[in-house]
Amino acid sequence: MQLKICLLPGDGIGPEVVREGVKVLKAVAQKYGHSLVLETALIGGEAIDKAGEPLPEETILKCKDSQAVLLGAVGGPKWDNLPRHLRPESGLLGIRKSLDLFANLRPVKLFPALQKASVLREDIVARGIDLIVVRELTSGIYFGEPKGIKEENGEKVGFNTMRYTESEVRRIAHLAFKIALTRRKKVTSVDKSNVLEVSQLWNEVVQEVARDYPEVELEHLYVDNAAMQLVARPYTFDVIVTGNLFGDILSDEAGVISGTLGTLPSASMGQGDLGLYEPIHGSAPDIAGQDIANPIATILSVAMMLEHSFHLQEEAKAIETAVQKTLDAGYRTADIFTQGQKKLTCSQMGDFIAMQV
Ligand code: IPM
Ligand code: MN
């Protein structure tokens, strides 16, 4: 099979981790007899520097012309003071929106070998963590209008709008329930319906969708309570479905209870098979260019790509198993290194995992 993929390495450690993701992708393609057609395009700060904007038209076209997109990370202090529409983050939000990738899937799974890296108490972690955050990605307060900063009564006022249409909630809810059917059949919908109208509508629509999935248990949590329960009883969560902002916050929290953001992948999907795959960590400018970043999140994002965009389950599984074997054998990048283990650079970690597939 031919796999046509657009690479968006981006900023900071982005290019380093994408390089390792591609290394593993090539190893899998070779083993299973697939051919790769790889394009590279500019996004974020690199695009600002080279093309004057964070998301050049050419990048959108190249992504639309591919079956999947692999992204590293965007952003860095160099571009922090630019006006909002020229910031690297606008490039990322823009590509999600242009490709209509409304569903951000962020699975959080604790590797047994990394149990000690969790910030949680051992007896809690021992019960296992295996959940997925299904975050709405192209609406909510990130995109709602009106927004801006204006003058009112002699002072500045900043404002954004949290807004969801019924159909936006319905499509993400359906996806969450469908994913739950393939897992432990539980959906937790997170909102703030005790205060916000937008959440009240969210809640009502999720309940309505739930009727189509009688075998799935539905739980509702207010976002403040959800943040607490995630650390108190992480083992009870299966699928968490929530809006753009709450999902952004809770997925970082869910991420760190598994030990490190350095191993967590994500997939952003729309109606079809075209998806954008990226590690959930950022560009980490403080360690960029040193070859010490953890490439596992990107490598596992490649696994998600093979599964969701190309429906190559076996190939995806081969990557996950290779990562597991590598961790079980005691190999670690600096972020998850503890005494007595073998420390690898970013590129050595990529070599090692590629060898195991
Ligand atoms: C994420 C990031 C982005 C977001 C930023 C970089 C725009 O935090 O993917 O979680 O807020 O969605
Ligand atoms: Mn985030």
For the chain, the domains span: 1-107+294-357, 119-257
With a 6 Å cutoff on the Cβ, whether 257 touches ligand 1 is no
1-107+294-357 and 119-257 share one fold: yes
At residue 318, the pLDDT reads 98
Nearest listed ligand to the Cα of residue 267: 1
pLDDT digits (tens, 9 = 90+) for 199-228: 999 999 999 999 999 999 999 999 999 999
At residue 347, the pLDDT reads 98
The environment of the single-atom ion ligand 2, i.e. residues with CB closer than 5 A, is 248
Distance (angstroms) between ligand 1 centre and the Cα of 247 equals 10
- Measured at the CA of 238, the angle between CA 235 and CA 243, to 5 degrees, comes to 120
Distance (angstroms) between ligand 2 centre and the Cα of 107 equals 14
At residue 116, the pLDDT reads 82
At residue 119, the pLDDT reads 87
The whole-model pTM stands at: 0.95
Query: Per CATH, which fold does 119-257 belong to?
Result: Isopropylmalate Dehydrogenase (3.40.718)
With a 6 Å cutoff on the Cβ, whether 250 touches ligand 1 is no
At residue 240, the pLDDT reads 98
Residue in the block written with tokens 């969708």: 209
Low-confidence ranges of the chain (pLDDT < 50): none
Which distant-in-sequence residues (6+ apart) come within 8 Å of 306 by Cβ? Answer: 28, 312, 315, 316, 319
At residue 258, the pLDDT reads 83
With a 6 Å cutoff on the Cβ, whether 248 touches ligand 1 is yes
Distance (angstroms) between ligand 2 centre and the Cα of 316 equals 25
Q: Which CATH class is domain 1-107+294-357?
A: alpha beta
At residue 259, the pLDDT reads 79
At residue 217, the pLDDT reads 98
Which distant-in-sequence residues (6+ apart) come within 8 Å of 331 by Cβ? Answer: 341, 342, 344, 349, 352
With a 6 Å cutoff on the Cβ, whether 93 touches ligand 1 is yes
Q: Are strands 186-191 and 217-222 parallel, antiparallel or unpaired?
A: parallel
- The span from the CA of 140 to the CA of 193, in Å, is 14
Nearest atom in ligand 1 to the alpha carbon of residue 92 is 7
